[in-house]
Amino acid sequence: MQLGVRAHDFGKLPVEELAHRIAAHGLTCVQLAVVKALAGIDTDAGRLSPGLACHVREAFAHHGIQIAVLGCYVNLADPDAATLRVQLGRFKEHLRLARDFGCSVVGTETGSLNSDFSWHPDNHGEAAFTTVLANVRELVREAEKFGVCVGVEGVERYVIDSPRRLRRLVDEVGSPNLQLILDPVNLLNARNHLDQAAILEEAFALLGERIAILHAKDFVVEAGQFRPVPAGQGQLNYGLFLRRAKEHKPWISTLLEDTNPATIGESVRFMREAFARA
């Protein structure tokens, strides 16, 4: 396991300071959402360049950190056609520059039929799947040109919400340039969390070959409300999760979420101890 973090969980900082702070915790990789993480750099669409990407890559590499994935979260089900085109264009820009950043995966969730990403009752229907499928295919065609991958992350409230729906997306796109980001907590909710072992087993059984990145956080259910928390502070079956990770994806980049500089030390200790026991 290569252990890392979402870079913006340390705040929006100049790249050298950001890399230094992350490396101080012994982390070796990051998920980098440039618009959220990098201060003093104009990252609007069209402003990125190979030179800027190289500068950022070298700043992290100086501290022993690899950029494992570029985060470029877009709403692939957005009903506003004009807004959707802008989002797809921004994602394609990240795909073109991914290798200059030193990584091969650009990641996104699939989004909602509401433009603001809020839950929509038709997200799990066939029409929503067809819309997302068409947009993922478009992005994967772009990724193929540059030898990089689109990384799709399933989330229970969005259009692609389950291991089976992810498997169907993979099969229908039919390209190795579609890879997956697995966050087990994002597949759970207040209704299904007691079935987490079966959901985890299904995810690795159906998707193991395509999982490129893991996300690591935890969850609690309080008064019927499902809430994410830092790794090790909740109810996720980390023993099972990390055993399957070892079996299916040795040395995979595993990125901590829902943490911050005040809690990161505890999360890192928990993950290392849990991985050693798994």
pLDDT in tens, 47-87: 899 999 999 999 999 999 999 999 999 999 999 999 999 99
- How far the first Cα of the chain sits from its last, in Å, is 12
Residue 45 has pLDDT above 90, yes or no: no
Mean pLDDT of all residues in 233-244: 98
Per-residue pLDDT at 272 exceeds 80: yes
Q: How far apart are CA 234 and CA 196, in angstroms?
A: 13
Task: State the CB neighbour count (10 A cutoff) for residue 45.
Answer: 14
Kindly report the number of other CB atoms within 10 A of residue 163's CB atom. Answer: 23
pLDDT of 44 over the 80 cut: no
CA distances to 122, 135, 157, 164, 184 from 129, in Å: 10, 10, 13, 12, 21
pLDDT band at 188 (very low <50, low <70, confident <90, very high): very high
User: How far is the C-alpha of 240 from the C-alpha of 6, rounded, in Å?
Assistant: 23
Sequence length of the chain is 278
Tokens representing 261 are 């500089």
**Full-model pTM:** 0.97
Q: Which 3 state secondary structure label does DSSP give 147?
A: coil
pLDDT of residue 67: 98
Confidence of residue 41 (pLDDT cuts 50, 70, 90): confident
Domain limits, the chain: 1-71, 74-160
Q: What is the mean pLDDT of residues 10-18?
A: 96
State the average pLDDT for the chain.
97
255 token code pair: 């990125």
The residue whose two tokens read 């005040």 is 262
Please return the burial class of 189, using the count of CB atoms within 10 Å of its CB with bins 0-12, 13-18 and 19+. middle
Is residue 160 within 8 A of residue 151, CB to CB? The reply is no
Phi, psi (degrees; rounded to nearest 5) at 164: -65, -40
Paired residues of 239 in beta bridges: none
Instruction: Give the gyration radius of the chain's Cα atoms.
Output: 18
> Cα separation of 212 and 252, whole Å?
7
